[in-house]
Chain A
Amino acid sequence: MKKLLSILLVALLLIGTLSGCSSKKELKIGFNTQLTGPDSYIGQAAKIALEERVEEINKAGGIGGYTLKLITYDSRSEITDAVAAAKRLLEQDKVHAMIGPEWTGAAVPIAQIANDSKIPVIATTASNVSVTVDDDGNVYPYMFRTCFIDPYQGYALADYAYVDMGLRKVASLTDISAAYSVGIQKYFKDHFEELGGEVVAEEGYQANDQEFRAQLSKIDQTDAEAILVPTPTYRDIALIAKQGAALNMGVIYLGVDGWVAEELLEMAGPELEGSILTSGVSSDQPQFAEFNKVFEEKHGIKPNVYAYYALDALEMIVYGANESLKAHNEITAQGIRDAIENMKDVQLFTSKMTMEPDTHNPHNKPALIIEIKDSNWHQLKMFEPES
């Protein structure tokens, strides 16, 4: 019996090895995302969207004889797991390019791994400046992103709050464990004070906190007209708004792209009535209506901006792969990287994109100013950076 088992095992192993030796050409794309853990909503829709798009491309014949293969690993919303997933994708699976991670904390250590393995990584919603450039401003050659950067987001929000809304006194409630959150608070404060406004209270909390009444009660004692909550996840602002309402605070909130999830409107739409946020994309933009409808009908969950950005990243890789084929007659990680670095006006899922070669940030990515009204997103204004 034991003998039979060992023969079977060896046979299985052989089959596994041989199947790996097939001559089929593959374009391997890694996806480093959050499928479990507190922020699993971020990766769940994106994974489905990517799989669907990959299948679509393959059905249409792949790219120049290459079949796309998506390899997804779960980072469990933990930096250590995200780094481990990146190492596995870049060093063992030897993908041609990797999509993700979605947050700054994980993207910064991964930039180094990307450099060492010389494989392009496209962070999706990691918006801190330090994701693509080091402290001296030198660009990490293999690290890219699809979203705009925090200084611009903080700047646009402060500008809108002071000039358009006429706010003068604002309090902030920041996730002190997230570089993203701390960064935006700083950029907002800098520009808001430069304009003449005042940040009257600066409160903090830590990731996965669920209780905010102590900080809110403290802010309630000040004369703040609005509370800036630059949270990386909609969960925090949903709870904050609900607890603020339970304390009868009656303030509005200023927010960031981390808020953007349809679930937020279901959770705390009425409590956030009149609140303002910045975002690179908004799911209420008419161009996504058809996609959203089909996606929700088919999968029972709503697509979100994380899915949009992941699709953008995939289109960037597809573009890079095509360019690599043109230039070298084969798809290589280096070829994809070079093409992405120099892309100009390339149509992606959400919009056209031009990459800035010296920063690896999308060029002139506009920031939308969005209002939450009747439990829905309403675009108020588009901020175009001065080029």
Chain B
Amino acid sequence: MTLFLQQLVSGISIGSVYALLAVGYALVYSVFSFTNWAFDAFMVVGAFGAFYAITDFKLPIPLALLFAILFTMLVSVFVERMAYRPLRIREAPRLFMMISAMGANMSIINIINLQFGGHFRNFPQITGETLSVGGIKIGMMDVFAAVFSFITLILLWIFLYRTKMGLGIRASALDLLTSGIMGINNDMVAIIIFGISGILSGVAGVFYGIKYAVFPYLGLVTIKAMIASIIGGLGSLPGAVVGSLLLGILETLVSGYISSEWRDLFTFSLLIIVLLFMPNGLFGKSTKEKL
């Protein structure tokens, strides 16, 4: 039983980081109907930003995290401006935007790799404490990361459902063209959406860096978040969160009880099964009602 609970707790802590990324995917997809493959790079920018803000600029940790998150937001908006908007304005097919995203992703990661080197960097330790409840052990930093992730997601929900701007974004998600005709500035929507998704990936990158290590390829995990957001229903925010937690828990349970060698097989099989029976994912009610 202890082992089960231990795996469950680990799974939730992994899932909470997936959730940030999956929501970012969902957000961009819901409005612009394309998958932002540059997320991987944004995560890396967040992690490196926080690391160098602390070690080189000597900023205090909370300020460094804030700096990294805002910096990632700017990079995200910049990529939207440079790599997506020109395509969007010229009405290029969605697929081209995805390719453009992949290009942006590889460029950013390679620049970071060549500029800073591919080695691991240890994030300055914030807390090494371990919380132990009834034999179940979890790092304090994991608890903090999970709590912070969920607070970020709740703030996002409030923004989308309780503010005028959020209403505008939801309108765009419903129909980008019509909302544009009705007076919503789509370029502004794009900036906000990419700003938010930049913040989400920045937070995920910072936590990933703290939890594991800072290196140019830490963003490989975004593929898992992508799967989570598809399982949840691509474009659905609650779906992305549920999908992420499910995936995190499934992965640890398979690793813990069956074998880690089977983990990816189970993960991808789950994806196929979900899509076979529910082509819109768990929460993808219909393509019209996304946010």
A residues near B (Cβ < 8 Å) are 35-41, 44, 176, 203-206, 208-211, 213-215, 217-218, 221, 234-235, 238-239, 242, 245-248, 261, 263, 266-268, 301
CB atoms of A235 and B130 under 8 A apart: no
A307 CB to nearest chain B CB (Å):
13
Chain B neighbourhood of A247, CB < 8 A: 130, 137
CB atoms of B118 and A248 under 8 A apart: no
Name 11 A/B residue pairs within 8 A (Cβ), A-sorted. Answer: A38-B118, A40-B119, A206-B260, A208-B217, A214-B251, A214-B256, A218-B255, A238-B120, A247-B130, A247-B137, A263-B120
CB atoms of A235 and B264 under 8 A apart: no
Query: CB of B216 within 8 A of chain A?
Result: yes
A203 CB to nearest chain B CB (Å):
6
Known contacts A217-B7, A238-B213; is-contact A203 B260 (Cβ 8 Å) = yes
B227 CB to nearest chain A CB (Å):
15
**Residue among B113, B120, B139, B213 facing the most chain A CB atoms (10 A cut-off):** B120
CB atoms of B220 and A208 under 8 A apart: yes
Query: Besides the contacts A176-B261, A215-B260, what 7 more A-B pairs have beta carbons closer than 8 Å?
Result: A40-B216, A208-B217, A211-B10, A221-B3, A246-B139, A246-B141, A267-B120
B residues near A (Cβ < 8 Å) are 3, 6-7, 10, 14, 110, 113-114, 117-120, 122, 128, 130, 132, 137-139, 141-142, 208, 212-213, 215-218, 220-221, 251-256, 259-261, 263-264
Known contacts A36-B113, A248-B130, A267-B213; is-contact A214 B260 (Cβ 8 Å) = yes
Known contacts A247-B130, A248-B130; is-contact A36 B10 (Cβ 8 Å) = no
A221 and B251 CA atoms in complex are apart in Å by: 19
Chain A neighbourhood of B213, CB < 8 A: 235, 238-239, 267
CB atoms of B217 and A214 under 8 A apart: no
**Residue among A35, A39, A204 facing the most chain B CB atoms (10 A cut-off):** A204
Chain A neighbourhood of B212, CB < 8 A: 210-211, 239, 242
Chain A neighbourhood of B220, CB < 8 A: 38, 208, 210
A271 CB to nearest chain B CB (Å):
9
Known contacts A211-B14, A267-B122; is-contact A40 B113 (Cβ 8 Å) = yes
Chain A neighbourhood of B113, CB < 8 A: 36, 40
Question: How many contacts A-B (CB < 8 Å)?
Answer: 104
Chain A neighbourhood of B215, CB < 8 A: 38, 235
Q: Is the interface of B mostly helix, strand, loop or mixed?
A: helix
A145 CB to nearest chain B CB (Å):
23
List the A residue with the shortest CB-CB distance to B255.
Answer: A214
A217 and B260 CA atoms in complex are apart in Å by: 12
CB atoms of A248 and B132 under 8 A apart: yes
Going nearest first, the 10 A-B pairs with the smallest beta carbon separation are A40-B118, A214-B255, A246-B139, A41-B119, A214-B252, A214-B256, A38-B217, A213-B10, A267-B122, A217-B6
Chain A neighbourhood of B218, CB < 8 A: 210
A141 and B91 CA atoms in complex are apart in Å by: 58
CB atoms of A204 and B120 under 8 A apart: no
CB atoms of B120 and A214 under 8 A apart: no
A45 CB to nearest chain B CB (Å):
9
| Residue in A37, A211, A213 whose CB lies within 8 Å of B217 | A37
Known contacts A36-B110, A40-B113, A41-B119; is-contact A215 B255 (Cβ 8 Å) = yes
Chain B neighbourhood of A217, CB < 8 A: 3, 6-7, 10, 256
A211 and B52 CA atoms in complex are apart in Å by: 24
B4 CB to nearest chain A CB (Å):
10
Chain B neighbourhood of A206, CB < 8 A: 260-261, 263-264
CB atoms of B264 and A246 under 8 A apart: no
A270 and B10 CA atoms in complex are apart in Å by: 23
B121 CB to nearest chain A CB (Å):
8
**Residue among B7, B208, B254 facing the most chain A CB atoms (10 A cut-off):** B7
Chain B neighbourhood of A214, CB < 8 A: 7, 10, 251-256, 260
CB atoms of B130 and A246 under 8 A apart: yes
